[in-house]
Amino acid sequence: MPGLAANAYSKASSKVADSWLGHDASELLVQWPVDRGFTSYEVGKTGEMAYEYNFGSEAYSYDSQNTQAVGQMNNTLILQTTYEHHDVDAQHHCTVVFYANADGIISRYEYDGVKCAPYISSWGKPKGS
Amino acid sequence: MKWMLAAALAVTSLVPFATSHAQSGVRHGTIVDMKPIDNRGDDESEQHKQGKQRGNVLGGLFGMVAANKTESPIAARVVANGSQDMGSRIGGAVAGEGPAAHYMVKVKTDDGKTLALVQTGKGVEGLSVGSKVSITGTGSATELAAE
């Protein structure tokens, strides 16, 4: 696969993805998640149907506070509390695309990302296989 | 949904030659298979959501009563919050999962192509295996209508 990131490939991921080859795309749709990060489209040049799964984490934010002694007056410590707001960006971990031919049979796939193996392994091989 | 945007950008580099093909006009076909997608992920039916809300309220009331019998204010808050969470879970379980949010629909088009599609529960209302349908749009934007 040209352009595939070197760190995306894993034998375990490919083994799971390979197991879908020859299976009906309908099995994939029922088994893998379609609630978010999923999209499908028809590929104009080949007439294939592409099923694309995007995995990652959504952006979130949290507040933290830190209290430390900044001085002393007589026997009393002077404390200062610092409040901080943190924004954590969304992260893209992996994109997996399965392609189905005109008969609806999965004939090839692609995957890429910095962390594919956990997602591909957890959603797994066809249940019937 | 920033990460979806990031994902979309990543895919641009992943499949540079794949282009979304906007089919013009209407296609016709027959539904040959249709299954609820049980793997719900974050999907939640209205029935389940309402059950959780009712449970949350009941749990909150129970928590208030229990918390009033607790002397420590921290313990009271823990009891109240825990009761709401528990109520929400029980309410959701009692209401059941309800109809699936999404369905897998396999359509054989009149020109011989087989399309496996994801449709919302609302999108398949009135449709079943054997239904003749008109197909508009493509991919995730595909809409089916009974003929």
In DSSP notation, A2-13 reads TT--TTT--HHH
Size (chain A), residues: 129
Is the pLDDT confidence value at B3 over 50?
yes
Give the tens place of pLDDT for each residue, A6-35.
457 889 899 999 999 999 999 999 999 998
Q: How far apart are CA A22 and CA A125, in angstroms?
A: 12
**B7, B35, B116: residue with CB nearest A25:** B116
Q: Do B3 and A43 touch (CB under 8 A)?
A: no
User: What pLDDT, on the 0 to 100 scale, is given for residue A10?
Assistant: 86
The secondary structure of A50-68, three-state, reads: EEEEEEEECCEEEEEEEEE
What is the total count of domains within chain A? 1
Which helix or strand (DSSP H or E) is residue A87 part of?
Answer: strand A76-88
* Chain B partners within 8 Å of A110 (Cβ): 14-15
In a domain, A63, yes or no: no
Global pTM reads 0.67
Average pLDDT rounded to a whole number, residues A42-71:
93
Mutate to test the interface with A, among B115, B143, B144 (most CBs of A within 10 A): B115
User: How many CB atoms neighbour CB B89 within 10 A?
Assistant: 15
Fold entry, domain B21-40+100-146: OB fold (Dihydrolipoamide Acetyltransferase, E2P) (2.40.50)
Q: How far apart are CA B120 and CA A56, in angstroms?
A: 23
Whether the complex's predicted ipTM surpasses the cut of 0.85:
no
In a domain, A22, yes or no: yes
* Chain B partners within 8 Å of A40 (Cβ): 117-118, 139-140
Calculate ∠ Cα B62-B64-B69, nearest 5°.
100
User: What pLDDT, on the 0 to 100 scale, is given for residue B43?
Assistant: 43
A86: confidence class by pLDDT, cuts 50, 70, 90: very high
Average pLDDT rounded to a whole number, residues B101-122:
94
* Chain A partners within 8 Å of B135 (Cβ): none
User: What pLDDT, on the 0 to 100 scale, is given for residue B38?
Assistant: 73
User: What pLDDT, on the 0 to 100 scale, is given for residue A44?
Assistant: 87
The structure tokens 């009033």 sit at B68
Nearest alpha-carbon partner for B89 in B134, B138, B33, B44: B44
In a domain, A84, yes or no: no
CA torsion sign, A103 to A106 to A108 to A112? positive
Size (chain B), residues: 147
Is the pLDDT confidence value at B76 over 70?
no
Q: Do A52 and B11 touch (CB under 8 A)?
A: yes
Q: What is the mean pLDDT of chain A?
A: 90
* Chain A partners within 8 Å of B20 (Cβ): 41-44
Average pLDDT rounded to a whole number, residues B112-119:
96
* Chain A partners within 8 Å of B18 (Cβ): 41, 43, 45, 50, 97
In a domain, A74, yes or no: no
Smallest CA–CA separation between B65 and chain A, in Å? 32
Is the pLDDT confidence value at B57 over 80?
no
B17: confidence class by pLDDT, cuts 50, 70, 90: very low
Smallest CA–CA separation between A23 and chain B, in Å? 12
In a domain, A118, yes or no: yes
**Minimum CA–CA partner of A94 in chain B:** B7
Q: What is the mean pLDDT of chain B?
A: 73
Smallest CA–CA separation between B105 and chain A, in Å? 8
Q: Which tops the pLDDT comparison, B92 or B76?
A: B76
Average pLDDT rounded to a whole number, residues A25-50:
93
* Residues A95/A87, Cβ–Cβ less than 8 Å: no
* Residues A7/A115, Cβ–Cβ less than 8 Å: no
Burial pattern B111-140, b for ≥16 Cβ within 10 A else e, equals eebbbbbbbebebbeebeeebebebeebbb
Q: Do A25 and B2 touch (CB under 8 A)?
A: no
* Residues B117/B107, Cβ–Cβ less than 8 Å: yes
User: What pLDDT, on the 0 to 100 scale, is given for residue B101?
Assistant: 86
Domain coverage including residue A25: 11-57+92-123
What whole-number percentage of chain B has pLDDT above 70? 42
Supply the DSSP symbol for B104.
E
Average pLDDT rounded to a whole number, residues B102-116:
96
Mutate to test the interface with B, among A34, A45, A48 (most CBs of B within 10 A): A34
Q: How far apart are CA B64 and CA B83, in angstroms?
A: 9
User: What pLDDT, on the 0 to 100 scale, is given for residue A9?
Assistant: 80
User: What pLDDT, on the 0 to 100 scale, is given for residue B96?
Assistant: 53
Q: How far apart are CA B81 and CA B75, in angstroms?
A: 10
